[in-house]
Amino acid sequence: MTNIPVTTWSLEQTAPTDLLPAAAPEGDVRIVRSEVPSPEFSRFLYTAVGGDIRWTDRLGWSRARWVQHLDRAGVETWVAFDRGTPAGYAELVPQDDGVVEIVHFGLLPDFRGRRIGGHLLAYGAARAWDLESRWPGLAVTKRVWLHTCSLDGEHAMDNYQRRGFTLFDTKVEEEPEVATPGPWPGAYPA
């Protein structure tokens, strides 16, 4: 198996006032919290959004592992729907000391380039900042962070910076080159 260099950038907001709004996309785009943990739905979002950008870390998760992850206090999935069809999602995971990570964020390929991503990111980051209001017992959010890498979409970094995230770390590591999994084998052109 061949290794390729992958650059990972970590970005953060350290105050709610860091968040910069995005224009709402045209049409009937709604963002809804997936309040009932559903391993099947979460796995669908993960593979459909990450398939062409080589998200592979969760592909081997069992249903039980998905349930365990989704049932943790404060874990939230916010889904953008375009006219009733899932277009993308943001997954929030609280960490220690008031830190919230946007662990996964992105759009299904057919919905990219339509201004949905900026709107969803701004909305998801705002929900990270007010996470404790929905989860009594969680610490007040003091920091929201995420990471992107050189395998992600070409506009990812620009979107994060336009929403007020600032770079705090950069790493370059060799990773195995993997076939693009997609939501099913062969879903995306090579």
Between 60 and 34, name the one with better pLDDT.
Answer: 34
Domain-embedded: residue 71: yes
Domain-embedded: residue 184: no
- At 13-27, the pLDDT tens digits run 999 999 999 999 999
150 secondary structure, DSSP code: T
For residue 144, give both structure tokens: 């929201």
pLDDT value of position 190: 41
Task: Collapse the DSSP code of 13 into the 3-class scheme (helix H, G, I; strand E, B; otherwise coil) and give the result.
Answer: strand
pLDDT value of position 186: 52
- The order of strands in the sheet holding 166-176 is 29-33, 76-82, 85-94, 99-107, 143-149, 3-13, 166-176
Q: Can you tell me the distance from the alpha carbon of 85 to that of 183, in angstroms, rounded to the nearest whole number?
A: 16
Domain-embedded: residue 115: yes
Q: What is the mean pLDDT of residues 3-19?
A: 95
> Would you say residue 111 has pLDDT above 90?
yes
Give percent of the chain above pLDDT 70. 93
CATH of the domain at 49: 3.40.630.30
Counting the structural domains of the chain, the total is: 1
Domain-embedded: residue 186: no
Domain-embedded: residue 12: yes
Q: Can you tell me the distance from the alpha carbon of 188 to that of 190, in angstroms, rounded to the nearest whole number?
A: 6
Q: Can you tell me the distance from the alpha carbon of 183 to that of 50, in angstroms, rounded to the nearest whole number?
A: 8
Domain enclosing residue 79, as ranges: 3-176
Domain-embedded: residue 185: no
Domain-embedded: residue 58: yes
pLDDT value of position 51: 84
pLDDT band at 53 (very low <50, low <70, confident <90, very high): confident
Domain-embedded: residue 182: no
The strand ranges marked E within the chain are: 3-13, 29-33, 76-82, 85-94, 99-107, 143-149, 166-176
**b/e per residue, 82-117, with b = 16+ CB within 10 A?**
beeebbbbbbbbbeeeebbbbbbbbbbbebbeebbb
> Among 2-11, 54-63, 111-120, 126-135, where is mean pLDDT lowest?
54-63
- At 86-101, the pLDDT tens digits run 999 999 999 999 999 9
pTM for the whole structure = 0.92
Task: Collapse the DSSP code of 81 into the 3-class scheme (helix H, G, I; strand E, B; otherwise coil) and give the result.
Answer: strand
Q: What is the mean pLDDT of residues 2-9?
A: 91
pLDDT value of position 31: 98
> Among 65-74, 86-95, 170-179, where is mean pLDDT lowest?
170-179
> Would you say residue 137 has pLDDT above 90?
yes
> Would you say residue 182 has pLDDT above 80?
no
With beta carbons less than 8 A apart as the criterion, state whether 156 and 10 touch.
no
